Chain A
Amino acid sequence: MSEENLLLQGHVPHVIGEPMIVCRKVNKWFGDFHALKDIDLEVREREVVVIIGPSGSGKSTLIRCINRLEEHQEGDIIVDGVELTNDVTNISAIRKETGMVFQQFNLFPHLTVLDNITLAQRHVRKRGKAESEKIAMDLLKRVGIPEQAKKYPGQLSGGQQQRVAIARALAMNPKIMLFDEPTSALDPEMIKEVLDVMKELARSGMTMIVVTHEMGFAREVADRVIFMESGRIVETGTPDNFFDNPQHDRTKLFLSQIL
């Protein structure tokens, strides 16, 4: 496909760099349940990868393995050149480089919005109070809610909370952002404000893996779409190929049901 065609469809491919996340033959079991089966995946710098698939297909489990919220039992996961093992040094090094946004926001309800964003900066990145607050305010401006800094999470709408959660993750200067169904718990009119922040982030060159059901977002922003089913990667392709010309029957069925 020529560059001209892509531009016509509003899709601007990101300038993709070196491999950032490498998964080789990753397997994971929950008891007897085989949650991830021989996952091979490479995500490069500045690449935006969207993972879709039916519920229980292992999408969330995969990205939760990448920052070790879940432990994989077989295979290699290498994030920014650091291999994920039981070594706490490696685990904390990887967590410092990966930000994560959850479906349920998981803001700290006992802290103000500002303190939510400065907490990890101060205790993990060891930044001073003034510096971390400046970074927090800049990020709140970037996600469009600087006026909410002194409020508590319980006083914000879902969309605002999710934008704070994105700011909180960005404050750690991650090289990779993982999004676990970031809009699934939101009211329809709030989905757009969160997606807009994510689009801006993608344009700025962040490496992102996004688990979502927002097909419009996938088509517009993703460099690559991955379809997972019962723990396997079934199909992977550029958004245009994936949505307009799916290869596997299971992908076709899934797309016909949701589009």
Chain B
Amino acid sequence: MTVLAAEPRVRIADGLRHTGTLAWRTLVQIKHNPFELLDFSVQPVMFLLLFTYVFGGAIAGSPGDYLAFGLSGIIVQNLLFATLNTGVGLNTDLSKGVFDRLRSLPIARWSPLAGRIVADMIKQAWAVALLLGVGMILGFRVATGPLEVLGTFGLLLVFGMAASWMSVLVAMLVSAPEKVQIFGFVLLFPLTFASNAFAPTDSMPGWLQAWVKVNPVSVLADAIRGLLNGGPVAGPVTQALLWAAALLAVFAPLSVWAFRRRV
């Protein structure tokens, strides 16, 4: 093999600066498209109110009792659905040519993706804080301490980042941003609803319970319940982190492969 002339790499510090600039770009879009704000503010709160007051009484006896069980599930469900934003944004950039413009600039190769992920994590953190805040107004109480709340945010963001690679893969495979939404929903609806996020596992038929118990959404919801309500933490958190690692290990390389094939 011939020795290639060493190409001066972009320094990490510059790459991080590019990432920051591109994250700014994604966040400043909110200013011009208030619908996006609706997407990750109003919609989660709507879900929370709906589940608490419409189904809560039937599932747990009273809306207040349901909140203790259901808030964690709703936060997890919202987290997963919001990962679609990453895919929709990436697909828009690819199909509109923004990505090509960025790739023709002398910037770190990884910064466009990293910038989007950083921005989306900020949005995710905002939605989690909002749901937690509204939940507390409705009567939810954190039974643990500030460390556990911090842990909740950390675990959710780590899991959200890993899970967003699923939507990145979909984004690389489909031709239009709307299709990311459609395929994403088809993927995420059964995943989130066939879990213990909204209803307790023992109320379901046996065949479904078998799946619900191993569903990563249940695992993550249990981990968040443990962190916020007290109860077992180490087991579900470890399992959730293993799931995150597995999602990352499968979907990140697939996405990179699909990206290379596409451009």
Indicate, yes or no, whether A interacts with B.
no
